[in-house]
Structure 1
Amino acid sequence: MRKLRDFDSELKALADKAKAIKERRVRQLGELVAATGADTLDADLLAGALLDAIASKDATTREGWRKAGAAFFRSKARKPAPRSEREPEGALPLEGGAASA
């Protein structure tokens, strides 16, 4: 006789895995924002810039952004904004800051 499958536990395991993947992606996006120095920007400005990038249909501009991003990831010494221009370690911006994920 074949062993019965426990679909409920399999679905729960898949849901847990999907949740972990989503959390990792959100964390990595936050790390990317910090690594590029974009965490110094007002949340409204950063959101606007990202929305503009999404809406951009200019292939030349998008290719320039892609090349700059690829160069950033290839560089050994990534250069984010100087620490003096960023929030103190562990501090949250007072206004316009992004809510924690």
Structure 2
Amino acid sequence: MRKPRNFDAELKALEDKAKELKNRKVQQLGELVIATGADALTAEELAGALLLLAETKDASRREVCAKRGAMFFQVRARRSASANDRNTSSAPAQPDRTQSASGGTGAS
């Protein structure tokens, strides 16, 4: 005989997954605001700019914004890749130790 499904547990798991996805999306949007420097704007300015773009029906204007956004991510990816190249060619970091201003090592 088949084991009956626990719909309550399945529903709870789906709700938890949806909540986790929403939290991740909010975190990523916050990181995007910071990465673009838009965190220097007031909340009203940022909301206004986003509303302006969201309400824009002009496809060419949206395309310009999309191209700028794509270029932003390409530049970031290149910077990240070159930073990783520099980090792998330098001496490995020792996370367990910190170096004091006098040059010795000590615990934090």
Equivalent pairs, count: 78
Deviation by residue 1:3-31 (Cα, 9 ceiling, x = unmatched): 11111101000000000000000000000
Structure of greater Rg: 2
**Aligned equivalent of 1:77:** 79
Structure 2 spans left out of the alignment, 5+ residues = 81-108
2:26 alignment partner in structure 1: 26
Report the aligned-residue RMSD: 1.1
Identity of aligned residues (%): 60
Q: State the TM-score, normalized to the length of structure 2.
A: 0.70
Equivalence map 1:1-101=2 (5 Å): 1-75=1-75, 76-77=78-79
Greater relative CO (CA pairs within 8 A, separation 6+):
1
* CA distance in 2 between partners of 1:4 and 1:59 (Å): 52
Shift in Å, 1:60: 1.2
Q: Which has the higher helix share?
A: 2
Q: Secondary structure at the match of 1:4?
A: coil
Query: What's the TM-score, normalizing by structure 1?
Result: 0.74
In the alignment, the residues of structure 2 paired with residue 66 and residue 36 of structure 1 have an alpha-carbon distance, to the nearest angstrom, of 14
**Runs of 4+ in structure 1 over 2 Å off:** none
